[in-house]
Amino acid sequence: MVTIVDYKTFSKENGENFFGLVVQGGVEAVRSTQTGKMYFTSKTATVPTTFNEITCKSLVGTTLEGAVKKVECDDYEYTVKETGEVITLSHRYEYVTAEEEILNNNLVPKEMVA
């Protein structure tokens, strides 16, 4: 289950704006690699929409079936807002519907089928 927690405005190359909904997954307990202590976090992802700003605002708080999953991608640089440190990442987080999650967890990849 995910919750729509916010929305963001983006600009297309032609200058036209569009909106994305920020979805947040459930609470996860994670152990810090630096301190060894547990902390709580949740993953977020931004999903593009065809909605206008009024609709996006009205959807904040809505829950949807699905999850936010870590997905491997090409390396890219990311600036940590709190420290200004630039790091290289090779993953992003994406919203996955409940149906997609079931399929991804239960189907054998095509390349493995003879």
Among 11-15, 70-74, 100-104, the range scoring the smallest mean pLDDT is 100-104
DSSP designation for 49: -
Alpha carbons 43 and 16: distance in angstroms, whole number: 29
**What are the boundaries of each domain within the chain?**
2-112
Residues 36-94 pLDDT 10s? 999 999 999 999 999 999 999 999 999 999 999 998 999 999 898 888 899 999 999 99
Alpha carbons 38 and 31: distance in angstroms, whole number: 4
> What's the pTM value of the predicted model, to 2 decimals?
0.77
Contact predicate 68/25, CB 8 Å: yes
Partners of residue 63 on adjacent β-strands: 3
pLDDT at residue 110, rounded to an integer: 73
